[in-house]
């Protein structure tokens, strides 16, 4: 565990780390399990003390230049000794020990790197890649297990399960006293295996049984509704099926609205992100050509470029993308790609600014360590991290869509400060913060965003004017702006 975790950090983390310092910090968390234990060290040495008396010391031959493998082995020896000498550490069990140590280690990294134990990793993987299940969401309140939602295209939908059905038994065993996670675990299982539910439903006098064959279920991340002659899509996050789900919903919208369809609204507000490849595939749905995103880090494999391929599913029709202060990561990739390629008008406020990508590495205990290993760059070149995406039309502090349209029509809306944005250095937080203040991030959704989007799409010439407010700068403009930002040297 320790050799693997420290080795992964040493290999792929976005900046080079002092592995000895990380090992020391992680091992010092043993005191949270037994206050009588302390860990000291530095410059190629780790010491385990109990009540201030030395128990074990490990001195690395290569000193402060020791490898991650050497530090991991040294820490493991101290951990074995701690288990032998401390009943509290021994009683804590492996998972609590790993959680304490790795939480300490990743706590010295950035805020997006984290450790997940066995259970958390299993749930994270299910959210990303899916699981064997029946396709329902449940709640457990006052001892009652109630179905709160039925996912589309799942066994539950095909067999007619309904929202508000109450689950009394699973495979003949009462669910009374079970936690929500325990119920979820019983509903999930091998694909093609069967589970028998005993249900109570409004309108039926007696409980009844239904046998459901489990399938591979990926949590839904896309919803669609018709807004007159405009198709509205809400994307909640990005998992392994998001792009396919959105494509399917778009085709459903085309069938429902027909040739009268005037445009599309893509709502990315409160979207925390997810799979980078899915954000690329989502942006690619609406593009015929152009850069979508580039990624750069310390590890050679982190340098990646993603280009659009021919096939705009929207056929060039207007697109409005809604963003806010909770739109992050993969959501920001989609927003920046469509804005920089002149394919959409972004409406809302400055996004979150999580412009880093995490690499998920499996650990020997079936847990995971998620490590930041690269930064996103928008098609026009600027770094999304800390800055985020600036909307084409800022609605911060604005609550009247007609007034915003009037300002746009009169040419009074400010252009996106693209030159300053692209000239700002990734580590110049002062310049980035100043740019963010031009359209302060809003955390709560405001109806004005959608109202403006729907009205703008219905006015093609005005929509075209809005798109031009976010024209990316050329290289010469950026170079001049960057030179102007440099300190004067006599």
Known catalytic membership, residue 127: no
- Cross-strand pairs, 233: 224, 266
Q: Are 487 and 295 in contact (CB under 8 A)?
A: no
Q: Which H or E run includes 464?
A: helix 460-468
Residue 404 CA from chain centroid, whole number = 31
Burial status of residue 317 (CB atoms within 10 A of its CB: 0-12, 13-18, 19 or more): middle
CB atoms within 10 A of CB 238: 30
Structure tokens at 277: 């490849």
Q: Looking at residue 221, what DSSP letter applies?
A: -
Residue 260 phi/psi, 5-degree rounding, is: -75, -5
Rounded to whole angstroms, the Cα distance separating 264 from 286 reads: 10
Q: Which residue is catalytic, options 354, 361, 370, 420?
A: 354
Known catalytic membership, residue 340: yes
Residues in Cβ contact with 107 at an 8 Å cutoff, skipping those fewer than 6 apart: 25
Q: Which residue is catalytic, options 340, 401, 420, 449?
A: 340
**Torsional sign, CA 106, 239, 323, 449:** negative
Rounded to whole angstroms, the Cα distance separating 245 from 238 reads: 10
Rounded to whole angstroms, the Cα distance separating 413 from 435 reads: 16
Q: Which residue is catalytic, options 113, 116, 327, 329?
A: 329
- Cross-strand pairs, 232: 225, 265
Structure tokens at 30: 């043993």
Task: Tell me if residue 442 falls in helix, strand or coil.
Answer: coil
Rounded to whole angstroms, the Cα distance separating 270 from 289 reads: 28
Q: Are 38 and 31 in contact (CB under 8 A)?
A: yes
Rounded to whole angstroms, the Cα distance separating 486 from 483 reads: 5
Known catalytic membership, residue 294: no
Q: Which residue has the tokens 């936690």?
A: 179
Percent of the chain as helix, strand, coil, to the nearest 5: 40, 25, 40
Of 112, 89, 93, 105, whose CA–CA distance to 31 is shortest? 89
Task: Tell me if residue 102 falls in helix, strand or coil.
Answer: helix
Rounded to whole angstroms, the Cα distance separating 193 from 170 reads: 14
Rounded to whole angstroms, the Cα distance separating 235 from 21 reads: 41
Catalytic center residues: 329, 340, 354
């Amino acid at each position: 565990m320790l050799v693997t975790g420290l080795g992964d950090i040493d290999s792929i983390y976005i900046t080079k780390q002092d592995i000895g310092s990380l090992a020391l910090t992680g091992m010092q968390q043993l005191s949270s399990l037994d206050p009588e234990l302390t860990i000291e060290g530095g410059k190629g040495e780790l010491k385990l003390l109990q009540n201030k008396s030395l128990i074990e010391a490990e001195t690395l031959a290569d000193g402060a230049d020791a490898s991650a493998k050497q530090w991991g082995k040294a820490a493991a020896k101290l951990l074995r000794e701690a288990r032998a000498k401390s009943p509290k550490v021994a009683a804590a069990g492996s998972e609590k020990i790993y959680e304490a140590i790795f939480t300490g280690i990743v706590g010295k990294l950035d805020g997006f790197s984290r450790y997940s134990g066995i259970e958390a990793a299993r749930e994270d993987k299910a959210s990303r890649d899916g699981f064997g299940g029946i396709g329902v969401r449940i709640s457990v309140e006052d001892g009652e297990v109630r179905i709160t939602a039925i996912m589309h295209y799942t066994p539950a939908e095909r067999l007619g399960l309904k929202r508000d059905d109450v689950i009394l038994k699973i495979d003949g065993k009462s669910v009374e006293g079970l936690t929500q996670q325990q119920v979820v675990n019983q509903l999930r299982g091998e694909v093609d295996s069967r589970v028998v539910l005993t249900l109570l439903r409004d309108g039926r006098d007696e409980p009844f049984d239904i046998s459901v064959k489990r399938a591979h279920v990926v949590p839904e991340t896309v919803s669609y509704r018709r807004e007159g002659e405009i198709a509205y899509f809400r994307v909640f996050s990005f998992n392994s099926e998001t792009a396919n789900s959105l494509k399917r919903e778009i085709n459903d919208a085309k069938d429902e609205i027909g040739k009268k369809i005037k445009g599309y609204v893509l709502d990315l507000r409160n979207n925390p992100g997810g799979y980078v490849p899915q954000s690329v595939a989502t942006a690619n749905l609406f593009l015929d050509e152009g850069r979508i995103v580039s990624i750069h880090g310390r590890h050679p494999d982190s340098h990646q470029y993603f280009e659009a391929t021919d096939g705009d599913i929207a056929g060039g029709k207007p697109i409005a993308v809604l963003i806010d202060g909770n739109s992050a990561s993969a959501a920001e990739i989609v927003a920046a790609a469509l804005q920089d390629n002149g394919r959409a008008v972004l409406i809302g406020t400055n996004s979150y600014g999580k412009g880093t990508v995490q690499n998920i590495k499996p650990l020997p205990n079936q847990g995971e360590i998620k490590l930041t290993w690269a930064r996103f760059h928008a098609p026009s070149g600027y770094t999304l991290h800390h800055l985020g995406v600036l909307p084409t039309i800022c609605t911060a502090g604005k609550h009247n869509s007609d007034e915003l349209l009037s300002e746009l029509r009169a040419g009074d809306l400010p252009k996106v400060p693209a030159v300053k944005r692209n000239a700002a250095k990734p580590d110049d937080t002062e310049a980035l913060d100043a740019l963010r203040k031009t359209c302060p991030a809003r955390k709560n959704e405001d109806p004005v965003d959608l109202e403006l989007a729907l009205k703008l799409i219905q006015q093609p010439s005005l929509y075209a004017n809005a798109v031009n407010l976010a024209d990316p700068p050329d290289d010469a403009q950026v170079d001049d702006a960057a030179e102007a930002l440099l300190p004067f040297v006599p």
